[in-house]
Amino acid sequence: MVMKIGILALQGAVREHARLVEACGHEAVPIKRVEELKHIDGLILPGGESTTMRRLMDRYGFTEVLRQSSLPMFGTCAGLILLAENVTDQTCGHLGKLDITVARNSFGRQVDSFEAQLDVRGIDEKAEAVFIRAPHIVSAGSGVEILSETAGKTVAVRSERHLGISFHPELTDSTVFHQYFIDMVASLAAETIR
């Protein structure tokens, strides 16, 4: 079945995610308005500037709706920060979807941004990972599975409905993470039907 995967299109690398969703054989839908959330099976929160995205999410009513929503979500970099329950230098998190604490810019400034090959639990091949002023996961609650680490820092996690990673698969040609998310969406949809 072809899944409709929304990509929050307020700011950031939207087109790149759309390209990989389509490469997996599914439909990519840019989301600029809250009403558009009704027609999708899963939502990607792309990389960009988390501060900017949060401001725009508040202004257009996304924050409240997404907090209540049961949509499966996949966040990369800034998107991971949006999904987290806690952010270290802020009084509260944004959407509180993943029971984790994240720290922003944890690998340094842009000159420290890097590429690496990662081992990821549940994915057979090495994953190409591009880290740009990336956050990392400081701690994770009991319902959260740790999928990958680099330099002693957790950089990929999942729960039943949510996938969060520190880096940008959308800047590579590899579809492994998008396929992983779409499989999550499909199995959750199958459960609901059953």
Interaction site with another protein (CB under 8 A): 9-16, 32, 47-49, 51-52, 55-56, 59, 77-78, 89, 104-105, 109-117, 130-133, 150-151, 168, 171-172
- Cβ-based nearer residue to another protein, 86 or 172: 172
The active-site residue out of 16, 17, 26, 77 is: 77
Catalytic residue among 26, 94, 162, 168: 168
Confirm whether 24 is a catalytic residue: no
For the bound state, the minimum distance from the C-beta of residue 137 to another protein, rounded and expressed in Å, comes to 18
The 3-state secondary structure of the chain, one letter per residue: CCCEEEEECCCCCHHHHHHHHHHCCCEEEEECCHHHHHHCCEEEECCCCHHHHHHHHHHCCHHHHHHHCCCCEEEECHHHHHHEEEECCCCCCCCCCEEEEEECCCCCCHHHCEEEEEEECCEEEEEEEEECCCCEEEEECCCCEEEEEECCEEEEEECCCEEEECCCHHHCCCCHHHHHHHHHHHHHHHHHHC
- Stated as kind and residue range, the H or E segment containing 45 is strand 42-45
Catalytic residue, chosen from 16, 26, 170, 178, is: 170
Nearer to another protein, 128 or 145 (CB): 128
> Residue 153 pairs with which residues in a beta bridge?
150
Q: Least distance in Å: CB of 81 to another protein? A: 11
Least separation in angstroms between residue 127's CB and another protein is 14
Nearer to another protein among residue 51 and residue 187 (C-beta): 51
- Closer to another protein at the Cβ: 21 or 144? 21
Contacts of 126 by beta carbon, 8 Å cutoff, 6+ apart: 117, 118, 119
If the CB atoms of residues 178 and 185 are measured against another protein, the closer one turns out to be 178
* Least CB distance to another protein at residue 189 (A): 30
Shortest spacing between CB 6 and another protein, in angstroms: 16
Active site residues: 77, 168, 170
